[in-house]
């Protein structure tokens, strides 16, 4: 009888643990104090330790540490820049945000100036890469492929 009770309690605890929100959330550290934060399935963004700088200064009374809004799907970085592909989220069924895999934008983060450029289409991304002397070495990696870097 004790074993059955113990088995039932263990099973219930396991179900509760597996069903808890947030267990799949993670952080992936990037150079210079930047990171990828996964807060839920579609809330994956790029954050920094310093506020975003726009036009040479922090704007207004709001200090923003979110450099690339959700949903970041792919990323590339070196010591100076982060390039991210963002899948557009749209409201469906009473305001629930779902990704639209056909709509996306690109973002470039200058990690030393704490400046973000975007949203960019593919043509604008190519132009910005030329301005920053980023060659064809840029190959975006799906976020799911970075599992060994998760914390």
Structure confidence by residue, pLDDT tens digits, 104-136: 999 999 999 999 999 999 999 999 999 999 876
| pLDDT score at 56 | 52
| pLDDT score at 14 | 47
Q: What H or E segment, with its residue span, contains residue 79?
A: none
44 three-state secondary structure: strand
76 three-state secondary structure: strand
Q: Which residues lie below 8 Å from residue 105, measured CB to CB, with a gap of 6+?
A: 85, 86, 88, 118, 119, 120, 121
Please say whether the beta carbons of 143 and 37 come within 8 A: no
- Residue 36's DSSP bridge partners are 28, 46
Structure confidence by residue, pLDDT tens digits, 17-56: 444 445 578 889 999 999 999 888 888 899 898 888 865 5
Higher-pLDDT residue of 64 and 70 is 70
Q: Which residues lie below 8 Å from residue 111, measured CB to CB, with a gap of 6+?
A: 31, 32, 34, 48, 79, 80, 81, 82
10 C-beta neighbours (distance < 10 Å), count: 10
Share of the chain above pLDDT 90, in %: 37
């Amino acid at each position: 009888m004790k074993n059955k009770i113990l088995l039932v309690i263990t099973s219930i605890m396991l179900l509760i643990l597996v069903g808890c929100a947030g267990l799949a959330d993670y952080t992936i550290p990037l150079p210079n104090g930047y990171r990828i934060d996964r807060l839920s399935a579609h809330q994956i963004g790029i954050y920094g330790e310093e506020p975003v700088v726009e036009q040479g200064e922090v704007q207004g009374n709001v200090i923003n540490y979110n450099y690339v809004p959700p949903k970041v799907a792919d990323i590339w970085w070196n010591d100076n820049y982060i390039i991210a592909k963002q899948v557009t989220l749209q409201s469906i069924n009473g305001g629930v945000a779902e990704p639209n895999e056909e709509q996306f934008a690109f973002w470039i983060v200058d990690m030393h100036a704490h400046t973000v450029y975007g949203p960019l289409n593919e043509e604008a991304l190519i132009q910005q890469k030329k301005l920053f002397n980023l060659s064809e070495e840029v190959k975006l990696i799906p976020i799911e492929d970075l599992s060994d870097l998760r914390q």
